[in-house]
Structure 1
Amino acid sequence: MSHTQSPPLFPQLERFVERTGLLANAKGILSARLPRILGQGQTRAEGLDMPPATIERQQELLALSLPDEASRDPGVQSEIADARRAVDAHTDHMRHPENRRRFAMQVLHRLEGVSTGSKDNHFFAGRLVLVPDKGGQNWAWSMTPHYPVIAKIPADIDYVVSAYAASERIVEKWTMPVDRFLGRLSLAWTMAHHFGEGDNVFIADVARFFKVAAQDERFWGSPSRRNFEDVPEAVFIANLINWRRHRDASGQRESFELVPATLNQAHGPKSRAFFVPSNPEGTVVRPMIYIRKQSS
């Protein structure tokens, strides 16, 4: 699927930019936003290798302060007005829960060879859950509704469909053999215990340190920022699910125990609970609070 062959979205703006040399002399926020408005660079959704979606470009245009000369260009002003109408209509449309549900079902219908559906007020495809933000402007493919693999996906069906395959590739890439995961989990737990307070180690802290523990040999051979690969938050829960499934199937003795959160620990603005799936689709979660290392 290619979005690069479509006709220019803002031909009048492009002519204005070319005529005034605006892009060549752009600084600060203008130099960052203008290329995206013109369809260059990538969508805001990290991990998705696609150009900015039409709706993203329209939103960026409305958020940009153009030079005074642009306000005197009727063609540019007409395109800004059109973009405002399109963004307002899109925002109003996605605000309604039924339209968000219809959008999600259209995405699921486009996915082939994977089990999809709606369960527990969530939409799922395989092991991933499709989650909109409150206004339906941005979507995410997540491990459970809490841990996104790819987030900030624009409300464009093509983009959400493409992001599913990209999310699956990310999960596949980072899912480790169980023995290796347990070794990295032990390292993350030791770091969390060292920097924590007392013997109760928060799962949330272990998940944070797991981003370091999960690095490959290149990083450990030469620890530096350039050798550090960003690990999505969902990677920890993906491996945790894989380990628990493997443990249940093989009867493997646990080396770690997850401690359920109390009602008070699970809710509230300062909650440190970590939400572990309790069904195969990941649409139902159970709040856990601590992770205890068991002696072998």
Structure 2
Amino acid sequence: MADSLFPAVEKYIENEGLLNKMKGYQAQLYRIMGQGSTRAKGLDLPPASIERRIELVSFKPLQDASAPKAIIAEIDQIRRELERELSFLKKTDEQKKLANQVLRGLGVSQSGIKDNRFYVGRLILSCENSGRAWTWSLTPHYPIIENIPPDLNYIQKAYFRAEELFKEILLAPDIFEEKLNLSWLIARHFSTGEKVLIIDVARMFKVAGQSEKFWSTPKKATFVDLVDAAFIANLINWMKQSGERSFSFSQATLHQAHGKHAKAFYLPVNTEGTQTRPVIYIDKK
């Protein structure tokens, strides 16, 4: 049972049967009530307290003229408290403080700050949306779990889930090379130029990286939505293997990496993944 954050609102929702009456708003109402799931993709937890409060103050159907005064008053109070908290989260010092608390609580020896980024093992911790959302990613560019609420417990649990997902998406290097070859061939087929963009190959890996179950019975039910980091995770692991590689990469120019229509892909250049280099094309040898 979720904690009661808004006694008047929650009682009103239950007594008025709004979960049944407001069919088009059930997802929002369930989150307000502390049911359903957090918005963090890949994290199997109920919505965090701050997610419930954000949902409540933005939920207009509970704030029209027909709502009881007690409901309006409770929502206004939550709004004022939330605005103060969100203003607090915008501060860089507070973001760093929360990140440091996360790292200390995890107790992983290989962790710290490098290149002004927080890392734990092979994962990077960063925040977006003015401190309202956090991400565990491979390099700063490829998320495993994102949109994590700014809650110490949630960010720490998301780290362990991200590590589990990392292991789940990792393929043996020889198997990945087969799927990389297939991804490249599909991307080459649809390429408009002579060169094959690595970002196109990464997109095609969403299909080529499917399990044998999908390829034996290709249908929606057997298709797995791979996380964005699946390609880079396997590419890094494959590149660590000794022996002749069947593909090479072309370094991106400054314009290709930072121009208006930039299409670069970022490979790590250090163990922690805090530094990257932009590449543009992948060439089959």
**Where does residue 81 of structure 2 map in the other structure?**
86
More deviation, 216-225/79-88: 79-88
Does 1:23 pair with 2:14?
no
**Where does residue 293 of structure 1 map in the other structure?**
284
TM-score normalised by length of structure 2 = 0.96
Q: Is the 8 A contact 2:27 2:36 kept in 1?
A: no
Secondary structure at the aligned position of 1:135 is classed as helix
CA distance in 1, matches of 2:209, 2:67: 54
**Where does residue 232 of structure 1 map in the other structure?**
227
- Note the alpha carbon deviations across 1:2-43, whole angstroms, 9 max, x for none: xx46x3111211211122111111122x22210111011000
Structure 1 alignment gaps of length 5 or more = none
CA distance in 1, matches of 2:109, 2:235: 22
Question: Per-residue deviation at 1:291?
Answer: 0.3
- Aligned partner (choices 273, 276, 281) of residue 282 of structure 1: 273
Does 1:151 pair with 2:151?
no
CA distance in 2, matches of 1:245, 1:270: 31
Alignment CA distance shift 1:176-1:264 (3 Å): same
Amino acid at match of 2:274: T
Structure 2 alignment gaps of length 5 or more = none
CA distance in 1, matches of 2:68, 2:205: 53
Question: Per-residue deviation at 1:85?
Answer: 1.9
**Where does residue 49 of structure 2 map in the other structure?**
54
Question: Per-residue deviation at 1:112?
Answer: 2.5
Does 1:32 pair with 2:27?
yes
Secondary structure at the aligned position of 2:125 is classed as strand
**Where does residue 108 of structure 1 map in the other structure?**
103
Does 1:204 pair with 2:195?
no
- Aligned partner (choices 260, 266, 283) of residue 269 of structure 1: 260
Amino acid at match of 1:265: Q
Secondary structure at the aligned position of 1:187 is classed as helix
CA distance in 1, matches of 2:251, 2:16: 62
Does 1:221 pair with 2:220?
no
Amino acid at match of 2:232: I
Question: Per-residue deviation at 1:70?
Answer: 7.3
CA distance in 2, matches of 1:68, 1:125: 43
**Where does residue 253 of structure 1 map in the other structure?**
244
Secondary structure at the aligned position of 1:192 is classed as helix
Q: Is the 8 A contact 2:108 2:120 kept in 1?
A: no
Question: Per-residue deviation at 1:175?
Answer: 0.6
Question: 1:183-194 maps to which residues of 2 (within 5 A)?
Answer: 183-194=178-189
- Aligned partner (choices 4, 7, 22) of residue 11 of structure 1: 7
Secondary structure at the aligned position of 2:126 is classed as strand
**Where does residue 170 of structure 1 map in the other structure?**
165
List structure 1 runs of 4+ shifted beyond 6 angstroms.
Answer: none
Q: Is the 8 A contact 1:139 1:160 kept in 2?
A: yes
Tell me how many residue pairs correspond in the alignment.
285
